[in-house]
Structure 1
Amino acid sequence: MMSFATAPSTEKNWFGHPRGLSILFLTEMWEMFSFFGMRAILVYYMTKHLDMDQEYASLVYGAYAAFVYFTPVFGGMIADRWLGKTRAVVIGGSAMALGHFMMSSEALFYPALCMIALGNGLFLPSLASQIEGLYRDGDVRSKSAYNIYYVGINLGGFLAPLVCGTLGEAYGWHWGFAAAGFGMLLSLVIYLSGRRYLPPEPARGVDARAARPPMDRAARDRFALLIGIAAIVVIFRGAYEQNGNTIALWADTGIDRQLASGWVIPMTWFQSINSLAVFAFTPLLVARWTRLARRGISTPLLGRMAFGAAIVAASYVALGLVAAWSEARGVRASWVWLFAWFIVFTIGELYILPTGLALFGRMAPEGFRATSIATWFFAGFFGNLLAGGLGTLWSFVTHGWFFALIGAVAGVSAILLYMLSRRLGDVEVHAAAAAKVVLAR
C-alpha cells in the first residue's frame, strides 16, 4: 500500500506521533465542539422554545443526525475524485459555521440543519481519511492513531455541553448555537495554519488512474466486507444514539439533579460525562491492548467490537431496572445512576466506535480512503433514522421498558458482530489474504 507520508511529517514528532496528527486532533476537537454543542441543546430547543411535541422532535432529531452521517458518503467521493481533501475541509467547515449561526433565527431552523449536514458531508471524511497518510507502511504508531484522534473528538464533546449548554440554559438557546459557530471557525483556522504538516493531496480525476490501482476484485471484496460490518453497526447506532435524544429527555424529567447544597446540576452537563470517561479510559485500554500485543495476543477487531456492543446493551438493561424501580415508587432516580450509566456506556463505546473507524481506515483500498471512511459514517445515517424511530416510543411505554428495549437492540448487534468475528477471525488478516489470492491470479 502506498503511503503519502512526507519526511517532515514523520521525522518531526509531537508526543511521539507526526505533527499532522496534532493538527487533525485539534481541528476535529473544535469541529466536535460545534457539533456536540449544538446537539446538546437541540432537543431542548425544539421542545422548550419551538414547542414541538416529543414524538415530532425525536423524528426531527433522528432525521438531522441521520443526514449528518449520510452526506459524508457523497462528500467522501467528491473529495476523492474532484475537490481534494483540503478544499473539501474548508468548504465543508465554512458551510457548517454558517449553519450554526443561522440557528439563531427560528425561521431558518430547517435550512440551518440542512446547511450543517451538507457541510459535514465534505468535512468529516476528508479530515479523518488523512490520518493513515501520516505514517509509512509498517509504522506501529498508526494502530493507536485513531484512538488518539478519538480523544480529540471527545475533548470537543466534553467542552461543548459545558459551554454551549450553559449559555443556552442560562442566557438563551441562540447563544449556545452562536458559541458552536465560533468553535467551527476556530477549527478551520487551526487546519489552515497547520496544513504544511499534513499529507500532500493525491492525484484526482483523470490523473488519479496513474496514482492508484483500479477497483479490482480484492478492493471490491474489501468494500463488500466493510458494508456488511456497517450494516450491523446500523443496529448498534439505533441504541447508541439515544444518548443525545431520550437520555437527554430522561435527564430533564426522570433524574433528581439536586445536590446536597441545593444547587441543581444543569441537564446539558450530563452530555459531558461521556467524553470525560473517554479521557479516563482510553489510555487504560490502549495500554492493555499494547501489552497483549507484545505478548503475541491479538484480539480480532470484530470481537472487540462485539464486546463493546454487549457492554452498551447491558448498560441500557441496568438503566431500565433503575427507571422501573423509580417509576414504581413515584420518585426521580438519583443523578448518580445516570452518571454511572454514562461511565459503563462509554467503556462499551470505546471498544466499538474507534475500533470500527480504525478498521475502515486501515482496510481502505488505496485512493479510496475518504470513500471508505464515508462508508463507516454511512452506518450512522440509517442508525440515526432507526434511533429517531425508536425514540418515538418514549411517550408510549414506561421508561423502564423503553431502556430494556434499547438494550435488546444493542444486544442483537453484539450477537451479529460476534458471529461474524467467529466466522472471519481477524478481519484485517482475512482481507489481506483475499487480496493476495487475487494478485496471485
Structure 2
Amino acid sequence: MIKTLSQQPKGLWILCGVEIWERFSYYGMRALLILYLTSEFWGMSDTQAYLTYGSYVAFVYMTPLIGGYISDTFLGHTTSVKYGCIFIMIGHILLSTQQSFFWGLAFVVVGTGFFKSSMATNIGRNYNNSNDHLRDSGYTLFYMAVNLGSGLALIAVPLIAKYFSWHAGFATAAFGMGLGLLVLFIGEIKKIIPKDHILVSKKTHIITIISALIAVCIFQYLIFHAKNTANVLYIMTIIVFIYLIYKTIKGGKEYTIPILAVLKVSIIVMFFWILFEQTATSVLLFTERFVNLNIFGFSISAANTHVFNSLFIIILAPFFAIIWGKWNISIFRKMGAGLIITGLAMGAFAISANLAIKGFSPSLLWIVLGYMLITMGELCCSPTGLAAISKVAPADIVALLFGVWGIKSSLSNYFASYIATFTDVGDIKDTSSIIQAKAYYHLFFNLTITAIIIGLIILIISKQLKRLYNI
C-alpha cells in the first residue's frame, strides 16, 4: 500500500490538497447557511431561508454543466480551477455582511461552476500508459480528500461560529479556500501539475472575467428572488428533455433503452436526495430548536450533526462494497432497499419530533440513528445510480447523461427546500412550541410512509426493470 502511495504522481497530491480546502470552504459555509439565515442576526422566515438555500444549492449543481464546456473549449482545466478558487474565496468574504450576502452566494455559485467541472478531469491528466494502473487508487485518494475536507469543516466551522461569531465561521471558510488557492499556485510554480492543453490569450481572460461577472449578477438576482429558481430549472429540464427526445429519434433503440434507464434511475435517486436534503433544512432546524445537543458534557452546534454522515460513510462504505461484491443484486433492488432504509431514517426523526410534542427534549441519539440509516440509504442509491449511467450509456452521449444527473441534483435540492417550507408555522420558533413540533412530526412521518411505499413498489417491479434495462 505504501509503495502504491509513493508511486502516485505528485500532481495528485497537489490537487487533493486543493480539493480538501475547497470542500472545507463549501461544506463549512453550507452547514451554517440555514441557521444563519433564521438567526436573530438575519431574521428570515423559515420559508425564505429554505428557498434561498434551495436556490443556491440548485445553482451550485447546475453551473458545472456550463463550466465544463468553458474549460474544455476556452480556458483549460487548471486555469478553470484557478478562476473557481478566486471566485469562491471572494464569495465567502462577501458573505460576512448582509449588504453583500447574496452577492457572496452568487460568486460561490459561479466559482463552483469553474472549479467542479475541472477537478476530476485534472486528476485524470496525471496518468498515462506508464502509470495507468494507479488511476483507480488515485481517484480513491481524491474521494478521501473530499470526505476529509468536508469532515474537518463540519466539525470546525460550526463550532467557530457558535463560540465566536457567524462572521468568524464564514471567514474560516474563506481562509480554507485561500489555502486551496495557495496549494494550486505552489503546484504551478514547481511545475507539478500537468500543463493545460489550451494556451489562453489575454482577450480570452478578459471575456471570461466579464462573462463571469455578468453571470454573478444574474445568479444574485435569482437567489435573492428564490421563487424564480423553479422556472429556471423547469426551462433547463425541458431543453434537456427535448434534446434527449431528438437523440432517441435519431439513434433509435440503441439510445432509447439507455436513456429511459437513466431517466428512471435519476427519478428514483432524485426522490432519495429530496429526503436526504431534509437533513440540511427541516431536520437541521428541528435539531437546533428541540434536540438536547449536550454530549459528554460538551455542547455542540446543530450544524455539527452533518458530520455524522461523513463518519458513517467512512465506517459503512467498506461493508457495502463487500456486500455488493458478494451478491449480484440488481441496481433497482439496491435503490428500492435504499428508499425503505431512508424512510426508516425519517421515521427516527419523526419519533424524535413526537417526543418533542410530548414536552421532552429528544436525545441526540435519535438524530445519530437517523443519520446512520440515511447514510445506508445513500450507499444503496447514489453510487449505484452513477454506476448505472456508466454501464448503459452509449459512449457518445455519456457526458449528456451525466448532465441529466447534474440537473437531477439541482431539482432534488430545490424541491427538498420547497417541501421543508411545510414546517414553517410563522413566527413561532420557541422550542417549547407544540405547534412547531407537530409541523416537523407531520412532515417527517409523511416522508417516512411515502419513502417506504415507493421503495416497496420498486422492489416488487425490480425483476421486470432488470429484464428491461439489464442493470
TM-score by length of 1: 0.78
Pairwise CA distance, 1:197: 6.9
Q: 2:28 pairs with 24, 27, 37, which one? A: 37
Q: 1:323/1:74 Cα in 2 relative to 1: closer, same or farther (>3 Å)?
A: same
C-alpha distance in structure 2 between counterparts of 1:368 and 1:189, whole Å = 36
Q: Which residue of 2 aligns with 1:280?
A: 315
C-alpha distance in structure 2 between counterparts of 1:86 and 1:426, whole Å = 43
Pairwise CA distance, 1:300: 3.5
Pairwise CA distance, 1:393: 0.8
Q: Kindly indicate whether the alpha-carbon contact (under 8 Å) linking 2:18 and 2:181 is maintained by their aligned counterparts in 1.
A: yes
Q: Which residue of 1 aligns with 2:212?
A: none
Pairwise CA distance, 1:246: 1.3
Mapping for residues 268-417 of structure 1, pairs under 5 Å: 268-290=303-325, 292=326, 297-324=327-354, 326-360=355-389, 372-396=401-425, 397-411=438-452, 414=455
Mapping for residues 52-91 of structure 1, pairs under 5 Å: 52-91=44-83
Q: Which residue of 2 aligns with 1:177?
A: 170
Pairwise CA distance, 1:344: 2.0
**1:107-137 superposed Cα distances (whole Å, 9 cap, x missing partner):** 0111111111121122223223556666789
**1:325-349 superposed Cα distances (whole Å, 9 cap, x missing partner):** x134211101121122212222222
Q: Kindly indicate whether the alpha-carbon contact (under 8 Å) linking 1:99 and 1:113 is maintained by their aligned counterparts in 2.
A: yes
**1:141-194 superposed Cα distances (whole Å, 9 cap, x missing partner):** 767776654433222221112221111111111111111112223233444555
C-alpha distance in structure 1 between counterparts of 2:43 and 2:288, whole Å = 16
Q: Which residue of 2 aligns with 1:123?
A: 115
Q: Kindly indicate whether the alpha-carbon contact (under 8 Å) linking 1:132 and 1:361 is maintained by their aligned counterparts in 2.
A: no
Mapping for residues 229-244 of structure 1, pairs under 5 Å: 229-244=265-280
C-alpha distance in structure 2 between counterparts of 1:227 and 1:219, whole Å = 12
1:101 is the counterpart of 2:93: yes
- Could you say which structure has the greater relative contact order, defined with CA pairs below 8 angstroms and 6 or more residues apart? 1
**1:290-310 superposed Cα distances (whole Å, 9 cap, x missing partner):** 4x2xxxx44334443443333
Q: Kindly indicate whether the alpha-carbon contact (under 8 Å) linking 1:167 and 1:175 is maintained by their aligned counterparts in 2.
A: yes
Q: 1:168/1:226 Cα in 2 relative to 1: closer, same or farther (>3 Å)?
A: same
Q: Which runs of 5+ in 1 are unaligned?
A: 1-11, 205-214, 431-441
Q: Percent identity?
A: 28
C-alpha distance in structure 1 between counterparts of 2:449 and 2:163, whole Å = 37
C-alpha distance in structure 2 between counterparts of 1:159 and 1:26, whole Å = 13
1:14 is the counterpart of 2:44: no
Q: Which residue of 2 aligns with 1:208?
A: none
Q: 1:236/1:147 Cα in 2 relative to 1: closer, same or farther (>3 Å)?
A: farther
- Which amino acid is 1:403 matched to? F
- Which amino acid is 2:446 matched to? L
Q: Which residue of 1 aligns with 2:210?
A: none
Q: 1:408/1:106 Cα in 2 relative to 1: closer, same or farther (>3 Å)?
A: same
C-alpha distance in structure 1 between counterparts of 2:127 and 2:330, whole Å = 22
- Which amino acid is 1:313 matched to? G
Q: Which moved more, 1:328-337 or 1:360-369?
A: 360-369
SS at 1:398 equivalent: helix
Q: 1:83/1:315 Cα in 2 relative to 1: closer, same or farther (>3 Å)?
A: same
C-alpha distance in structure 2 between counterparts of 1:29 and 1:359, whole Å = 28
C-alpha distance in structure 2 between counterparts of 1:387 and 1:232, whole Å = 14
Aligned length: 403
C-alpha distance in structure 2 between counterparts of 1:309 and 1:418, whole Å = 10
Q: Which residue of 1 aligns with 2:225?
A: none
Q: Which moved more, 1:217-226 or 1:60-69?
A: 217-226
